[in-house]
Structure 1
Amino acid sequence: MTDRLAPLYPQHMATLRERADKALALGGFDHLVIAAGTPPGKFLDDQHYPFVASPHFRHWLPLTDAPGSWIVHTPGRKTRLVFLQPHDYWHVAPEAPNGYWVEHFDITVVRTAAEAVAQLPGAETRRAVIAPECPVVAGAEANNPQAVVDYLHYHRSYKTPYELELMRQASRIGARAHRAAEQAFRDGASELGIHQAYLAAAGAIDAELPYASIVGLNEHGAVLHYTHFDRQPPTTSRSFLIDAGASAAGYASDITRTYAAAGHTEFQALINSVETAQLGFVAKVRTGQSYPELHIHAHHVLANVLREHGLIRMSAESAVASGVTAAFFPHGLGHPIGLQVHDVAGFQQSESGGSIPRPAGHPYLRMTRVLEPGMVVTIEPGLYFIDMLLDELRDKPFAGDIDWNKVNVFRPYGGIRIEDDVMCTDGAPENLTRDAFALL
């Protein structure tokens, strides 16, 4: 993996330096100071939550375990890394910086947080400090200037070749772990057992995943963010929905698959139809495609899937306009992905800020921009049988156009979601997820 990353990193670093220079000029600053951050403490306790380095910090270098460290970029000078390596016999101290990226930094190793802050441009200078507001580090308070942050966030949407290679790696780890989870499901494991098989195959602990895994058997697939993990397997195995990702040097993958247990052919046929639709949406991840329009198109296609499987009798147009599809598909088609699972700037109008509103009637869509080369988005349509939402349809005038007997057949299966991470290019899209599964 290092052999592929090393030749790509210099260009990535040059791109980040150029963006930082422009952002600082826009905001009227001389220095960009980026905190890795520190782990937040637990309330009324002497323990901390797991450390997650700031995405701004991880953007510059593949250093995910460096609490209390800082990056300092000053135009015209070599970028600095102030690396905190405390003398500490209670914990494992972070390893000294090493690898293909270190030659691009002027590295200073310090032993305390106070020493680290002393290495930063002083408060009297014009510095843009990108850091979490809490906890505040004395002497290096965050200001997170909007002009700087807007510019950096907007351009973070366009992944460098180095970033894309890390995202491919995250997809390969995730695909391997998904295969292990599917096998655990086929072997009759509980939700917790499936999740543990996933972690083992990913070579990770929960805190190292980009988000909390969703592992739902049977009806639990209808809970969009189900993270309960039953300890005992169900008496009857019907279906399995898993939404779980992996990380590579801080870059995320986000993958969802749905499986039917052996013999449940009608639900498997519905899965197949959703997957066919999903691949059609993936094919439309092309330069100039409006993401909101693709989302609305997905509603019309899924309405036809509902018709084909006998769940509704109305036209696709009526199903979308009346909100029927929103009851079966109540979330957005997807979101930007990269350093964060739900990456920044999905609504941003330009590098100067602003916001592109969601289309009316689609409050949960997480992206409204037009697709451009270098953007990576998820494509994750779904069909669910959520009691609360379906009950709301029963009182509507069009309730007679829904086959409630057929709905009841599918309720015990929970729902279906199929999700891939897809890069927009100058031509055909690159499906990072499918490519990763193909390599297995």
Structure 2
Amino acid sequence: MTETLAALYPAHLATLRARADAALARSGHEHLLVPAGVAHYQFLDDRPYPFAVNPHFKAWLPVTDAPGSWLVYTPGRKPKLVFLQPRDYWHVVPQAPAGYWVEHFEIAIIREPREARAHFPADAARCAILGEDNAAVDGYAPNNPPAVLDHLHYHRAYKTPYELEAMRRASAIGARAHRAAEQAFRAGESEYGIHMAYLHAAAQTENELPYSNIIGLNAHGAVLHYTDLERTPPAQALSFLIDAGASFHGYACDITRTYAAPAAAEFQALIDAVDAAQRGFCARVRAGQDYATLHVHAHHVLASVLKEHGFIRMSAESAVESGVSSAFFPHGLGHGIGLQVHEVAGFQRSETGGTIPKPPGHPYLRLTRPLAPGMVVTIEPGLYFIPMLLDELKAKPAGRDVDWAKVDAFRKYGGIRIEDDVVCTEGAPENLTRDAFAAAA
């Protein structure tokens, strides 16, 4: 397995160097400096928050837990890793860099953060420094030039073969853990117990996951970002929604599944309808597809599901135009994914900036760019029974075309979301999530 990554990595690095060269030329800078980041400490305490590496740093090399380290790159030269290996007996000291990627870097080991300064170019004004303000060292403070960020962020949407391989491996971990979570649900575990089963199967701590697990039983599935994790199982678990990911070498997967208990056959029928719709949306992840248009298409399809299952009496077109569909499907169809769960530049018009607006009436869509080969996006339609939104809908004229008795009967199930990570290719899309589940079976 490592051999595959080793074979793909040189081309990945060459791509990053070419992007950096172009970005620096556009901004007028001569060098690129990227701090890994430093720990943030809690107010009035000496306890740090979990460390989160700078995504611009981990794009270059699979090092995600080396605070105080730096990447230094000058076009035409071998990139340098300035690696902080502190003298410390309070904490585990990061091991010296090793692996398939080290031969492609000049590596300097430092013991104190301030020692990084000796490895920087002489003139800070000529450096594009990408990071947070607290990473500054002796006058070399992040300046985050917009021209550099715009170029790098825009092109980050197009994954290299190396990145796609890393994301396949993250998906394999996530699928394995999702299967364990489903088994825990079927066994009657609490939300907390399901969460622990997930962590055990993924072999990752909460801090290593790309985001906090969303694990909701019954009506908790109606809270889009539910993370409270009840310790006691409900008297009867009718439904289960899990939105949970995994990480590999700094790359994320983002997977959501919804399950019904045997006693909830009516809810299972609705899950099956959303699943069929979701597969259809995934099939449309093709080069040239406008993602915002796909999102609006999803609203029409889901409105048809609502009508077919007796929740609304109006046409799908009327449900979308009146905003009724948004009461049941209030979030976006998905987003870009890669080094970050919600990848940057989802609205960016070109490598020089600009914005592609969201469709009117759809404020929570996170991606409006047209799809192109190499892009990886999530496809995550949902139907929910959210009390606040349903109460607002009931007070509107369009609420008269809703079968409220039917809706009220489904409130106890919370909601449905089904999410896959899908690669846009030159031809048929590659569904990282479905492939991973098939392999895990």
TM-score, normalised via structure 1 length? 0.99
Structure 2 counterpart SS, 1:109: strand
- 1:118 shift after superposition: 2.5
Alignment length (residue pairs): 440
Residue 123 of structure 1: CA displacement?
4.2
Matched, 1:256 2:256: yes
Counterparts of 1:30 and 1:110, CA distance in 2: 24
Q: Could you report, residue by residue, the CA deviation over 1:61-87 in whole angstroms, capped at 9, with x for unpaired residues?
A: 001111100001101111111010011
2:155 aligns with 155
> In structure 1, what is the equivalent of residue 296 of structure 2?
296
3-state SS, counterpart of residue 32 of structure 2: strand
CA offsets 1:227-273 (integer angstroms, 9 cap, x no match):
00001000111000000000001100000000001121100000000
Kept after mapping to 1: 8 A contact 2:124/2:140: no
Q: What is the Cα deviation at residue 399 of structure 1?
A: 1.8
Task: State the match for 1:278 in structure 2.
Answer: 278
Partner secondary structure for residue 416 of structure 1: strand
Q: Which moved more, 1:252-261 or 1:122-131?
A: 122-131
* 1:7-46 matches, cutoff 5 A: 7-46=7-46
Matched to 1:328, the amino acid is F
SS of alignment partner, residue 207 of structure 2: helix
**Aligned partners of 2:35 and 2:135 also within 8 Å:** no
Ranges in structure 2 where 5+ consecutive residues have no aligned partner: none
SS of corresponding position for 1:344: coil
2:174 maps to 174
Match of 1:351 in 2: 351
SS at match of 1:320: helix
In the alignment, what sits opposite 1:202? 202
Kindly provide the amino acid, as one letter, of the partner of residue 299 in structure 2.
H
Q: Hey, which bits of structure 1, 4+ residues long, moved more than 6 A?
A: none
Trace 1:87-166 onto structure 2 (pairs within 5 A). Answer: 87-134=87-134, 136-166=136-166
Gaps of 5+ in 1: none
Alpha-carbon distance in structure 2 between the residues aligned to 1:122 and 1:131: 19
Q: What is the CA–CA distance in structure 1 between the aligned matches of 2:136 and 2:317, rounded to whole Å?
A: 52
Identical-residue share of aligned pairs (%):
68
1:206-217 alignment, distance < 5 Å: 206-217=206-217
2: distance between equivalents of 1:398 and 1:343?
36
1:123·1:140 contact (CA, 8 Å) conserved in 2?
no
Following TM superposition, by how much is the alpha carbon of 1:132 offset from its aligned partner in structure 2, in angstroms?
A: 1.0
TM-score (norm 2): 0.99
Secondary structure, aligned partner of 2:7:
coil
Counterparts of 1:104 and 1:176 in 2: how far apart (Å)? 33
Q: Distance in 2 between matches of 1:124 and 1:435?
A: 47
Counterpart residue number, 2:6: 6
Alignment of 1:332-411 (within 5 A): 332-411=332-411
CA contact (8 A) 1:158 1:374 kept: yes
Q: CA deviation at 1:396?
A: 1.4
Deviations 1:299-345 (A, max 9, x none): 00000000110000100000000000000000000000000000001
Report the secondary structure of 1:241's partner residue: strand
How do 1:47-58 and structure 2 match up within 5 A?
Answer: 47-58=47-58
Letter of the 1:201 partner, please give it. Answer: A
Deviations 1:11-51 (A, max 9, x none): 00111011100000000010000110011111110110111
Quote how far apart the aligned CAs of 1:394 are: 1.1
Say whether the 8 Å CA contact 2:68–2:135 is kept in structure 1.
no
**Structure 2 partner of 1:74:** 74
Cα distance in 1 for partners of 2:137, 2:305 equals: 54
- Matched residue SS, 2:109: strand
RMSD of equivalent CA atoms: 0.8
Residue 192 of structure 1 is matched in structure 2 by 192
The farther-off stretch of 274-283 and 116-125 is: 116-125
User: For residues 61 and 217 of structure 2, what CA distance do their matches in structure 1 show?
Assistant: 38
Query: In structure 2, what is the Cα distance between the partners aligned to 1:45 and 1:125?
Result: 35
Q: 1:254, 1:138 → 2: CA distance?
A: 39
